[in-house]
Copies of this chain bind each other. A is one copy, B any other.
Amino acid sequence: MHFTSEQRLDDGVLEREFTLGEIPGILWTPASSCAPVPLILLGHPPLGLRKMYPRLVARARHSAAEGFATATIELPGSGDRSRWPAAEQARADLRRAMQAGEPVSDEIVDALVLPLVDKAVPEWQATLDALLSLPDIDGPVGYSGGVISIGIRLAVVEPRIVAAGFFAGSFVPRAMFEEARQVTIPLHVLLQWDDEGNDRQAALDLFDAFGSQEKSLHANMGGHTGVPQFAGDAAVQFFTRHLK
């Protein structure tokens, strides 16, 4: 892990860009902390770190105010990272189906999501190895948001992640419902009740499938990007309960 830039934000949060091999990422740590702080991995949709930066830095500041370090990485095939043909094909098929107003087939969803999960999860784990070797960061670790299928797989395979906050999204391959049953860590699931890009019933079915004994669903009004401020507060409180 190589730090490539470092700046203090106006609220004192330290923002460091890094690369891990070919993967770019960003680490945020609270303004002042005498001891190592717990870490939350910030997931995001595959739209590129640069495009997602405003929303990510807002979540990072919010978390830093509660004493958490946060980190994120560019997803495979996003931003400046190399594409792979099958993913490009799946994205094109998705666009075509949505523009035609057709239902998005299981085949498209599988082609879009499953290879992304297979590639992204080991990268998150390698990032976790590197981050936990830093002196100012310590476990336990939470995972928050982003492509829910990546979060599900991480929750199943990565024992250092002890709590996860998910954003209920569509395009969850059927196979991930089986993996969801294997999740046992505490979960906090956000659902936008009128999410234009989200099948509400599928989100409720997925919530039902999770194997966790502690899982909470917080449904709020508004569309995909309309998550109210208090719902963000509740998500941070969830991590405070489980990581501190």
Contact = CB atoms under 8 A, between A and B. Distances in A.
A216 B231 contact: yes
Given A230-B241, A234-B234, A241-B230, A216 B220 contact: yes
Copies of this chain, count: 2
A62 interface: no
A218 interface: yes
Contacts of A231: 216
A219 interface: yes
A82 interface: no
A218 B216 contact: yes
Q: Summarize A's interface: helix, strand, loop or mixed.
A: mixed
Contacts of A216: 218-221, 230-231
Contacts of A45: none
A106 interface: no
Given A193-B217, A233-B237, A234-B234, 5 more contacts: A193-B208, A193-B215, A215-B221, A216-B231, A230-B238
16 contacts: A193-B215, A193-B217, A204-B204, A207-B219, A212-B221, A213-B221, A214-B228, A215-B221, A216-B218, A216-B221, A216-B231, A217-B220, A218-B218, A219-B219, A230-B237, A234-B237
Interface of A: 193, 204, 207-208, 212-221, 228, 230-231, 233-234, 237-238, 241
